[in-house]
């Protein structure tokens, strides 16, 4: 059973991807463009957005910082009604308790979560007025449960997942689609910081294909690669007395 209206035919549809300067966001914007969507790309790095537009005729760049609420409001008004908006802005630095940094922790929350709240303020009135459209929030399997070195990143992504769940309950009866994306390890500038083996790592293009397939199937949760994310889902079911010793071994 599909939990959302299926997004299959992108011809003539407008997709706004926020966080499209690199990684998963850029690959998803490119895949949507190839499928026939009118793509609008946003991020802080205007030069990278201009490169995207040059390589994808008919697309449009709207540079912005998700922490700048007036800029987001102005961009939402300029984009107008959207069939899909993807919040893919993200920030990651490995952090453990011994290296706790308050400023860094706050930055994780600001970009990974508060920026999504800014987007809701700017976009929800349009979606509600239209009685349609789809909002997709890109979270992470790091938000499933507490993980080593994810003291700042994991909680922020967990909050984003919770936000998507609450939004679905409110917006689905109004005909508005909501989905949450839980990637495993994807080769991006963010994951390049990791100094450990990343099991089942995939490329951004494969991630983008999985996301388009998830929207086409009307899924609420889109997770990939499944050979890894299904294992992570099983870990969520373990009681703490089993979970902590098992995950603790990985951190040694």
Q: Which residues belong to the active site?
A: 153
Q: Do residues 14 and 83 lie in contact, with contact meaning Cβ atoms separated by under 8 Å? A: yes
The whole-angstrom separation of Cα 156 and Cα 106 is 9
State the helix-helix crossing angle for 23-34 and 204-217, rounded to 10 degrees: 60
Residue 90 in contact with residue 112, Cβ under 8 Å?
Answer: yes
Collect all residues with Cβ–Cβ distance below 8 Å to 219 and sequence separation of at least 6: 2, 3, 4, 179
Asked whether the beta carbons of 139 and 153 are under 8 A apart, the reply is: no
Sequence-distant (≥ 6) Cβ neighbours of residue 32 within 8 angstroms: 10, 15, 17, 39, 84, 212
Cβ neighbour number for residue 35 with a 10 Å cutoff:
17
Length of the chain: 252
Pairwise CA distance, residues 77 & 103, whole Å: 32
Answer for the pair 111, 66: CB distance below 8 angstroms, yes or no: yes
């Amino acid at each position: 059973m599909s939990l959302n209206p299926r997004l299959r035919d992108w011809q003539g549809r407008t997709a706004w991807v926020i966080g499209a300067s690199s990684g998963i966001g850029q690959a998803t914007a490119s895949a949507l463009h190839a499928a026939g969507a009118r793509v609008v790309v946003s991020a802080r790095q205007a030069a990278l957005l201009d490169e995207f537009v040059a390589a994808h005729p008919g697309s449009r760049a709207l540079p912005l910082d998700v922490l700048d609420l007036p800029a987001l409001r102005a961009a939402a008004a300029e984009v107008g009604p959207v069939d899909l908006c993807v919040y893919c802005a993200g920030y990651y630095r490995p952090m453990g308790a011994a290296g706790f940094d308050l400023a860094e922790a706050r930055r994780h929350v600001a970009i990974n979560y508060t920026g999504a709240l800014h987007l809701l303020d700017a976009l929800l009135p349009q979606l509600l007025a239209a009685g349609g459209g789809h909002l997709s929030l890109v979270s992470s399997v790091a938000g499933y449960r507490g993980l080593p070195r994810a003291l700042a990143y994991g909680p922020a992504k967990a909050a984003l997942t919770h936000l998507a769940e609450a939004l679905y309950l409110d917006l689905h009866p109004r005909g508005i689609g909501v989905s949450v994306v839980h990637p495993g390890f994807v080769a991006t500038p963010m994951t390049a910081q990791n100094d450990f083996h990343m099991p089942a790592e995939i490329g951004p293009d494969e991630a983008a294909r999985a996301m388009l397939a998830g929207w086409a199937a009307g899924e609420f949760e889109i997770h990939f690669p499944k050979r890894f994310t299904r294992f992570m889902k099983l870990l969520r079911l373990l009681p703490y007395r089993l979970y902590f010793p098992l995950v603790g071994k990985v951190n040694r």
